Amino acid sequence: MYQNGHGTHVAGSIAGNGRVVGNGPELKVAAYRVFGPTGGAYTSDIANALMTAADDNVDVVNMSLGGYDWFQDPNYATQEVVADVRLFNRAIQYAIKNGVTVVGSAGNNGADLSSPGKLSGDDQGATHRSPSSQTMIRVAAGGEEKNLTYYSIYGVGKIDVLAPRRLRYSLARNR
């Protein structure tokens, strides 16, 4: 059975306050598990967690989500995929309207998202981070030298901030 402790690792890196001290040892952390034992999650589960976090007065939600949507392929851009993207964007808007700062990882494919087709192999249409939103803060992975890591997504207009890899993730509750 696949078990990924990524969220626990991230929370420890941010708010650890024991033998290992995190970057924000006084932060309170709330967990909203959406991924099952195989590592997959439905967009509806992610959206529900976002809205629940907003209702719980969480200050910051940070998500380390993966995947990409290739909307230039009509076989891929089905009504279900488009509906998932809208659902995710609406959940982010709900959280933001309720005072939550929403942060998401840029991704780890080492590609330039300012050229829309890089991940799909051509430049014939829009490639979007999935789930993605123009209103959440997108964070690229930086190294110890404050440089972009070799694996981080990058791109003009697609990345909002670069953070050292170990600082990139958090889910903080301070209210």
pLDDT in tens, 120-139: 555 454 445 555 567 888 88
123-132 burial, b if ≥16 CB within 10 A, otherwise e?
Answer: eeeebbbbbb
Residue from 25, 99, 32 nearest 65 by CA: 32
Domain boundaries, the chain: 43-173
Is residue 103 packed enough to be buried (19+ CB in 10 Å), middle (13-18) or exposed (0-12)?
Answer: buried
Whole-model pTM: value is: 0.77
Whether the per-residue pLDDT at 172 is higher than 90: the answer is no
Tokens for 60, please give them.
Answer: 């910051």
| Strand intervals (E) in 24-113 | 28-29, 60-63, 68-70, 101-105
Q: Mean pLDDT score of the chain, rounded to an integer?
A: 75
pLDDT in tens, 45-103: 989 999 999 999 999 888 877 666 656 666 767 788 788 888 988 999 999 999 999 98
- pLDDT at position 51, please? 96
Superfamily of domain 43-173: Peptidase S8/S53 domain (3.40.50.200)
Helix, strand, coil percentages in the chain from 3-state DSSP, rounded to 5: 25, 20, 55
Tokens for 30, please give them.
Answer: 């709330």
- pLDDT at position 58, please? 92
Whether the per-residue pLDDT at 146 is higher than 50: the answer is yes
pLDDT tier at 10 (50, 70, 90 boundaries)? confident
- pLDDT at position 71, please? 62
70-102 burial, b if ≥16 CB within 10 A, otherwise e?
Answer: bbbeeeebeeebeebbebbbebbebbbeeebeb
